[in-house]
Amino acid sequence: MTGKIIFGIFVGLAGGFATGAGFVAFLTVLGVIPRLTQLTKTMKMIHYYEGAIIAGVVAGTWLGLQETKFFLHHFLLIPIGLADGIFNGMLAAALTEVLNVFPILSKRIGIQEKIIYLLMALVLGKIAGSLFQWIYFVDL
């Protein structure tokens, strides 16, 4: 029995290590946090941002695995949803950048100056696709 418990703890811990390391590696490659510190000029606070990420991941993991209910006002969901979206949007933007989509595309069709409009196509497409899915597509 004790052996089983110790083995269970070991497996859980190992799985957590691997997933956590993967998550941090992913964030590091995409460079979202440095970009945020650069935009807000808060380079010195980067350790606290690390703390925020870790706290968020731990809290999310724990609450996600439990059946906790807080019974708070539902308007609290609006800032949560917005923050969720901004973070995801930055991840998506970082991913397009890592993949070098725009430099190659603009060279191919020869529109260096109008590239910002192509960027807006991507942004508006993401917003429209997301709204369409949640409001209409999920009911189909």
Partner 1 sequence: MAVVYIRMRNRVQVKGNQTVRIKDIARIIGPEEVIQIIEETFLLTVKKEDKNIIVIDLAQLIMAIRKVDPQIEVQTFGPSQTIIEVIYSKKKMSYLTFALVWFLLFIGAGMTIMNFHVDVSMGEVHQKVFTLITGKLDEKPLLIQIPYSFGLGIGMILFFNHFFKKRFNEEPSPLEVEMFNYQQDLDRYVTMNENKENVRDLDDR
Kindly state the smallest distance separating residue 31's Cβ from partner 1, in Å.
8
Amino acid letter at 38? Q
Q: Could you tell me the CA-to-CA distances from 58 to 12, 19, 44 in Å, in that order?
A: 14, 12, 24
Kindly state the smallest distance separating residue 86's Cβ from partner 1, in Å.
4
Per CB under 8 A, does 2 bind partner 1? no
Per CB under 8 A, does 58 bind partner 1? no
Per CB under 8 A, does 65 bind partner 1? no
Q: What are phi and psi of 42, to 5 degrees?
A: -125, 50
Cα 15 to Cα 33: distance, rounded to the nearest angstrom:
25
Residues that bind partner 1 in the complex, under the rule CB under 8 A: 32, 35, 38-39, 63-64, 68-94, 97, 100, 102-107, 109-112, 114-135, 137-139
